[in-house]
Every structure is written in C-alpha cells, then in structure tokens.
Structure 1
C-alpha cells in the first residue's frame, strides 16, 4: 500500500511507477494521499471516519476502497516468498 503520496511530486510518481514495475498487482490501489486530517485524527485518538472535513472523508473513502478490495478477493496480496494472509 502506497501512502503519504503527494500527487504533484514528480519524485513520488517516479517511485510509485518503480514499485508497480517491480511488484505489479501487489501494489494496492488507491494510493493514500498525505493529509493533515489523518495526523489530526490520530493525535486526537479519533477514528478518521468520524473526523470532520472533506479531506478526512475522502481519505476514509480510500481506506474503505482498500478494505473492500481485500474482502472481495478474500486475501491480501503478498509476494510469493511470503506467507498468505
């Protein structure tokens, strides 16, 4: 899972492409952007899903998409050398 992504960063985009080239479908989508709302919710010991603000809700939706993908496939993709989850 790629997190703390800054979409405008050319370096971040290069590194994400590098990860996809190396690990293909093991790199989960969507990428999780860097958001201060996550840091704020963590600092307040509150779930992101109840944190106010549009950016918090967008990020919570991204987490929901990742969880849905894992539930639908019944597993978390892992490299062949690792153990199945």
Structure 2
C-alpha cells in the first residue's frame, strides 16, 4: 500500500479491510504519503539520493519491500 495516512480513520479502515481480505499478500511496510517522493520524482532523481530524513525513511521502506520480494522469490512463495 502506498500514500497511506495512518492518522486517517478512513485509511486505517481500508488497510484493515485489505489485510482481512488478502492477509500475507499485503506487503509491509506501508508506504506513507511523503512530499519527498514527489519532489524526487519531479526532479528525476533517485529517492535514495534525495536529501532529507523523509526521503531516507522512504528509501529504507522501499529497500525493505525489495528485500521481502527478493526473499519470497528465492523460497518460491
């Protein structure tokens, strides 16, 4: 899930709904809505090279998702 806003009750409801319906197919971590992602995209720069704490948090989240997908591929899930 991306562009999540955990403060939003509607987002919390929809996240729970997706997890209830699809269980482990819903990947973690959720990707929060961050302007740094939009800024890096707009500047055609890799997020991993964009300055700021928010960009580094998002880059770390993407790294975690990639690792999870790669690990699942190795074990055949």
Shorter-chain TM-score: what band? over 0.9
Counterpart in the other structure of 1:35: 34
Is 1:8–2:11 an aligned residue pair?
no
Which structure: greater helix fraction? Answer: 2
Unaligned runs of 5+ in 1: 76-83
Aligned length: 75
Unaligned runs of 5+ in 2: none
Which structure: greater strand fraction? Answer: 2
- Runs of 4+ in structure 1 deviating by more than 4 angstroms, as ranges, are none
Deviation track 1:55-83 (CA, whole Å, cap 9, x = no partner) reads 000000000000000111117xxxxxxxx
Given the two structures, how large is their TM-score scaled by the length of structure 1?
Answer: 0.85
Given the two structures, how large is their TM-score scaled by the length of structure 2?
Answer: 0.93
Give me the CA root mean square deviation: 1.3
